[in-house]
Amino acid sequence: MRRTRELFALLILVVLGLAGCGDRGSLDADTLARAGNFQLGVEETAELIAPVPELPQDPAVIEALTDFWIDYSLLALAVNREGALEEIDLSALTRQHLNQDKVLQLRDMVIDVDTTVSDEELAEIYERDRPGERIRARHILLLFPDDADQAQRDSVRDLAHQIRDRAAAGEDFASLAEQYSEDQGSAARGGDLNFFERGTMVPPFEEAAFALEPGEVSDVVESQFGLHVIRLEERDFPPLDEVAPRLRQEIQTERTARAESIFVAEIEEPAQITLADGARSRVRELAGAAQLDLSEREKARALVTFEGGDYPVREFRWFLLNQPTQIRQQIANATDDQLEGMLKELARGELLVHEAERRDITVPDEQVRELEEEIREQYREMAGLLGLDDITPEEGETLEAAVERAMADLLPRLVRGEQEVYPLGNLSLPLRDHYGVQISMENMNSTAQRVAALRDEDPDAVPELGDLDDLDLEELVPDEPPTDPN
């Protein structure tokens, strides 16, 4: 039961960001998808899902399951057909690693900066910046009512100023926190937040707290959480000899980064990086469907142009496939300014690659071959995890028929939660590009309807929604909000 719930949770994740979309062309009414010479039918998919009540009759879940069928079928074929993995074009997967290597070689060639840090300079920076400094503070938090009007907000603000004045006049801060603070976590401790370093709290709170001297009370500080009154209790920082190695390394890294920035600016200015028309809307579409099968013309379409080159859809799609689901969702919902900044930053990376190639910086062929073999080994390992790495045709049977037989065994175990699910991620695209994929979105809906019909015919198969009460999606998609000083 628990395995089936985990599968359901993973299917939801796939729908949100990992599911491949394929070529959404037309197929006959009985066919959900084609992958190479393989075909997935509406009826067989419905019969697969209907007996598993934990899987909802949702087209999105059916789509995700279809994507697993596509990837696993093509993976099994490629791994078990002699020489097939060597025929698949892996250049899109290797390009990112090879470009990184080229840029690193370029940096070593052009960046020549003295990173020596004397002991005297280190001591001066230590006294100025206080690395490793931490403080212990108390705070009183007042919240604005939900949907508060201006009069209500002014009332809360007036109370905050009254509390601040009483604390600044010497009234016991801990007692005030116990009485007024709406931070339930710290109020019982007199508002005590214990020790924290820079970068731990939200910026307005942190800036005010670190500006205080021990015993001093802040003005009223507003953050995204409400209004704060802060009192600094004590300040602590490690001795120089304890932080010297880390501080010296940070200074050296900063100097190198500054030199790199100067170099990038020197080649960026004449390049005139410019967003192509419609780039932002296309980026949002791709973020919502990173594995969308595209024509060669569309893959080559420029999102950003610069003197002597461009940043095409092809590169952005591969960038997306290396990002977590949450990041892709953020890109899909980003503002125009945010998308412009991201695209220009990606184009700068492409510009550096062009500069490296202009200077005849290359990667040895042997290194390329080693990288390609590492990727092929990933395919083999994935097939092994799924039990698809040793498929032997029976007498008179083709390899494709043997793969279909193996998938007929794997998919029922997968939907019942008896088989661990392993998304292929960006490994799926070379397979799809090589063999070809076609998916019918219209038939996703008819498959869902057929699942419902089968369950109506068998009342025992009606989904028991109560069985999903303890499904913990947050466990798979951890929430990472800004740190609350509460």
Dist. CA 305–CA 312, nearest whole Å: 9
Query: What are the backbone angles phi and psi of residue 475, rounded to the nearest 5°?
Result: -65, -30
Output the pLDDT for position 9.
Answer: 44
Does the pLDDT at position 171 exceed 50? yes
Helices 59-80/441-457 angle, 10° precision = 110
Output the pLDDT for position 97.
Answer: 84
pLDDT band at 417 (very low <50, low <70, confident <90, very high): confident
Report pLDDT digits (tens) over 61-92.
888 899 899 999 999 999 999 999 999 999 88
CA dihedral (305, 308, 313, 315) positive or negative = negative
Interval 399-413 mean pLDDT: 94
Interval 320-343 mean pLDDT: 86
**CB 18, CB 422: distance < 8 Å:** no
β-strand pairing of 221-223 with 302-306: unpaired
Quote the tokens at residue 7: 């599968």
Report pLDDT digits (tens) over 97-154.
888 888 888 888 888 777 788 889 888 888 888 888 899 999 999 999 998 899 999 9
Output the pLDDT for position 110.
Answer: 83
Dist. CA 201–CA 130, nearest whole Å: 18
Does the pLDDT at position 220 exceed 50? yes
283: Cβ contacts below 8 Å, ≥ 6 apart:
303, 316, 331, 339, 342, 343
- How far, rounded to the nearest angstrom, does the alpha carbon of residue 363 sit from its chain's CA centroid? 29
Residues, the chain: 486
Output the pLDDT for position 292.
Answer: 60
Quote the tokens at residue 255: 């100097």
Does the pLDDT at position 459 exceed 80? no
**CB 478, CB 15: distance < 8 Å:** no
pLDDT band at 53 (very low <50, low <70, confident <90, very high): confident
**CB 317, CB 299: distance < 8 Å:** yes
For the chain, percent of residues with pLDDT exceeding 90? 48
pLDDT band at 16 (very low <50, low <70, confident <90, very high): very low
Output the pLDDT for position 468.
Answer: 35
pLDDT band at 467 (very low <50, low <70, confident <90, very high): very low
β-strand pairing of 31-35 with 437-439: antiparallel
- Flag the least confident range among 4-13, 52-61, 75-84, 286-295: 4-13
* DSSP code, position 472: -
For the chain, percent of residues with pLDDT exceeding 70? 88
- How far, rounded to the nearest angstrom, does the alpha carbon of residue 110 sit from its chain's CA centroid? 32
Dist. CA 161–CA 163, nearest whole Å: 5
pLDDT band at 17 (very low <50, low <70, confident <90, very high): very low
Helices 313-321/279-288 angle, 10° precision = 40
Output the pLDDT for position 12.
Answer: 40
Output the pLDDT for position 394.
Answer: 93
- Flag the least confident range among 162-166, 179-183, 438-442: 438-442
Does the pLDDT at position 386 exceed 90? yes
Give the class (CATH, top level) of 133-236: alpha beta
* Residue burial 235-256, b: 16+ Cβ < 10 Å; e: rest: bebeebeebbeebbeebeeebe
Report pLDDT digits (tens) over 350-372.
888 888 988 999 989 999 999 99
Output the pLDDT for position 253.
Answer: 84
- Flag the least confident range among 32-41, 103-112, 271-280: 103-112
Task: Please state the domain extents for the chain.
Answer: 2-81+372-475, 93-111+272-358, 133-236
β-strand pairing of 226-236 with 134-142: antiparallel
Question: Which residue type does 462 have?
Answer: V
